[in-house]
A and B are shown apart, each in its own frame.
Chain A
């Protein structure tokens, strides 16, 4: 039997991550609303164009600052635990080989996919195994950004007890900016990601029930035999 396209651990952690990330983003935006400026008092960052703009209430969770902080610091643990389960599984199972970006295998394919998506090239390069190169590149980027989200959060939470970490990130106010920028990046990713899923609904079945027998897979039935995995 061929390996499941999306093993249940990846499916479960993916959807749990969606829930936790929504809670983290919503409560985080409510915390930001208490002081919607970046940069230390009297030295606002000039590059931040949304100085003083409160995030709309509809995007926030927690109701008020104390409620939102409790939500945020409660679900941060669940978010991290879920990410650790995913990360450990990704490497322990060897799944990383067909999911993470590898320049040799994916760079040319990613470029071709990008040109196709921008309507600059008619032909889309076929996926190499599970994903195409552009998918691997963005997913790997998201996975690399997630630790930065957690580290910058810890740097703000404990700027004295973890003062080395805070200093490494450029200080308390820099950590706050990094935290928000990574969130903005993830939000942007999610929008593009959902658009892609809508355009390729078959992938949703894969991520939900694990199986996917669409033409792409039929065209490449031996998707688990990637070059690196060949004996």
Chain B
């Protein structure tokens, strides 16, 4: 076989292989893989570059709050999750002083209220106000190590969990909320304690919290492991 023909053939095979790869490269059922996964990384860099730790989401007025029935509440358990007896939040990982905090203890910490627009990955938006403690305040109390780059949140909702970049977690509008719209947090919205933030999509805000861990490495999450974007900033 002449070398030009061999070149031609191998070139053709290579192109066919690349074409086949190209077909695999965009698979909506495996969004973290191939070209879509590559672009998720590009988009994470873009979002991190845009993220400004000091930029606050506009605080809204009470009149802009959605009616209670217009603020949906999602869970993954079949029944409304029930807090285990003697519930307390654990703060651990790369911290100088691991903490265990009851609701009463959390309520004694400096309280903050934030009323911002909530953005769901599905495309809807709604508004509520949230009372709680800044996560940055807990990080300060626990003495977070400089090696910590990520924060993982665990819940008692059938193993629902998520993990975040440290910068978004320490944003002043990222709080652990025990109140909503001026009342104690209702069970369907994640009582006794939930994560709430102005800078992430709804599925990143873990409800029914049990544990906050400061980690050196990124982990995943309930929806993230199934294919939803990990960074998910807004």
Contacts and interface: CB of A to CB of B under 8 A. Distances in A.
Interface string B212-234: 00000000000100111100011
A106 interface: no
A167 B26 CA distance: 34
Interface in B96-118: 116-117
A42 B126 contact: yes
Interface string A27-64: 00001101101001110000000000000000001111
A64 B27 CA distance: 11
A160 B199 CA distance: 7
A-B pairs, 6 with minimum CB distance: A67-B28, A42-B70, A74-B39, A70-B31, A66-B227, A35-B123
B19 to A, nearest CB: 15
Given A35-B124, A69-B229, A77-B42, A160 B198 contact: yes
Interface of B: 26-29, 31, 35-40, 42-43, 47, 50-52, 55, 57-58, 66-67, 69-72, 116-117, 119-127, 198-199, 223, 226-229, 233-234
A172 B55 contact: no
A35 B122 contact: yes
Given A34-B123, A42-B70, A161-B234, A73 B43 contact: yes
Q: How large is the interface on A (under 10, 10 to 19, 20 to 34, 35 or more residues)?
A: 20 to 34
A77 B124 contact: no
Interface of A: 31-32, 34-35, 37, 40-42, 61-71, 73-74, 77, 157-163, 167, 172-173, 176
Given A71-B36, A161-B51, A41 B28 contact: no
Contact of A67 (B29, B122, B233, B234): B29
B123 A69 contact: no
6 contacts: A41-B70, A41-B124, A70-B36, A73-B40, A74-B35, A159-B117
B234 A37 contact: no
Nearest to B25: A74
B126 A40 contact: yes
Contacts of B57: 159-160, 163
A77 B43 CA distance: 9
Contacts of B29: 63-64, 67
B26 A163 contact: no
B124 A40 contact: yes
Contacts of B50: 158, 161-162
Contacts of A160: 55, 57, 116, 198-199, 233-234
B39 A70 contact: yes
Given A41-B71, A41-B126, A74-B35, A161 B66 contact: no
Contacts of A34: 121-123
A203 to B, nearest CB: 30
